[in-house]
C-alpha cells in the first residue's frame, strides 16, 4: 500500500494543561517511532479556518508513515501515542490518501501523491508560514476568509490548525466531493479575493496546498 497519512484530533475535558505541554514534550517519544516519516504536533483554533483565538481543549497530530503496519504498531506500543487516547475525552481520526500536493512544509514535501481511488470525500490541508512584516495585514482579512468557508456548500468539517500562533497557520477541511471544492474556489467571491490578495501582498513566506481522499473518518468518544 505504501505511505499512509493520518490526522488525529484529540479533545480534552480534563488534562488540558498536560495536552498543552505535549506540544513540546511529545517530540522525543514520537521521534523514536519506527516508520514515522513526518509529523506535526498542532494546536487548533476556536473559530472557522484561521483564528487568533486558540482552542485549548483540542490538539491535533498529523503523521505520515511508511506503512499501515508501522502506524498500528506505533499506536499500540508508543507510550506517548497511547497517552493521547488515555487522557483525551474524544478523538476524531482521518485516514488520508494524498492525491495532490504543492509547496513545502518546513522545507519538506512529505506527501507522496497516489492514484485516486474515486468516489471519496476530499480532505484539504492548506498551511502557511506568514511573513512577519505582513502579519497585521493578513489577520485583518481573516474574518472574511473564515466566513467564506463557513458559508460554503459541500463542506462537512473544518478546523484551524497550526504549529505556532500567529505565524504558522493551517486549515483542514473535508468536502463531499472535488466538485464542491471547485465551486467554492471559483464561485466564492470572498475566497477568490483572499487568494488574489495573498499573491499581491506576499503574505506567505512558505505555503503548501494538499488534497487527499478521505479513506475513513472515525469518531471515538471514551465512556
Q: What is the CATH number of the domain that holds 70?
A: 3.30.70.100
> In terms of residue numbers, what domain contains 68?
4-219
Contact 160, 169 (CB under 8 A): yes
Each of the 223 residues of the chain gets a pLDDT tens digit; together they read 679 999 999 999 999 999 999 999 999 999 999 999 999 999 998 865 566 788 999 999 999 999 999 999 999 999 999 999 999 999 999 999 999 999 999 899 999 999 999 999 999 998 888 776 666 666 666 666 667 777 788 999 999 898 876 677 888 999 999 999 888 877 666 656 666 666 666 677 778 899 999 999 999 874 4
Strands 54-65 and 90-103: unpaired
53 SS3 class: coil
Within 4-50, strands assigned E span: 4-11, 36-45
| Owner of C-alpha cell 473559530 | 47
Number of domains in the chain: 1
Amino acid at each position: 500500500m505504501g505511505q499512509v497519512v493520518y490526522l488525529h484530533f484529540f479533545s480534552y475535558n480534563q488534562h488540558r494543561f498536560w495536552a498543552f505541554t505535549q506540544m513540546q514534550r511529545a517530540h522525543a517519544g514520537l521521534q523514536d517511532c519506527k516508520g514515522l516519516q513526518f509529523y506535526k504536533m498542532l494546536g487548533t483554533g476556536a473559530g472557522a479556518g484561521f483564528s487568533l483565538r486558540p482552542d485549548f481543549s483540542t490538539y491535533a497530530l498529523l503523521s505520515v508513515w511508511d506503512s499501515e503496519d508501522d502506524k498500528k504498531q506505533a499506536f499500540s506500543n508508543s507510550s506517548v501515542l497511547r497517552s493521547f487516547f488515555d487522557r483525551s475525552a474524544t478523538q476524531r481520526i482521518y485516514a488520508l490518501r494524498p492525491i495532490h500536493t504543492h509547496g513545502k512544509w518546513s522545507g519538506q514535501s512529505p506527501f507522496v501523491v497516489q492514484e485516486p481511488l474515486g468516489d471519496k470525500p476530499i480532505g484539504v490541508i492548506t498551511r502557511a508560514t506568514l511573513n512577519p512584516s505582513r502579519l497585521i495585514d493578513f489577520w485583518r482579512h481573516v474574518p472574511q476568509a473564515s466566513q467564506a468557508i463557513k458559508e460554503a456548500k459541500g463542506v462537512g468539517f473544518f478546523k484551524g490548525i497550526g504549529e505556532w500562533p500567529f505565524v504558522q497557520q493551517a486549515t483542514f477541511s473535508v468536502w463531499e466531493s472535488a466538485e464542491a471544492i471547485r465551486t467554492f474556489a471559483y464561485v466564492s467571491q470572498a475566497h477568490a479575493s483572499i487568494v488574489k490578495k495573498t499573491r499581491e501582498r506576499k503574505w506567505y513566506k512558505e505555503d503548501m496546498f494538499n488534497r487527499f481522499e478521505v479513506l475513513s473518518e472515525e469518531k471515538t468518544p471514551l465512556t
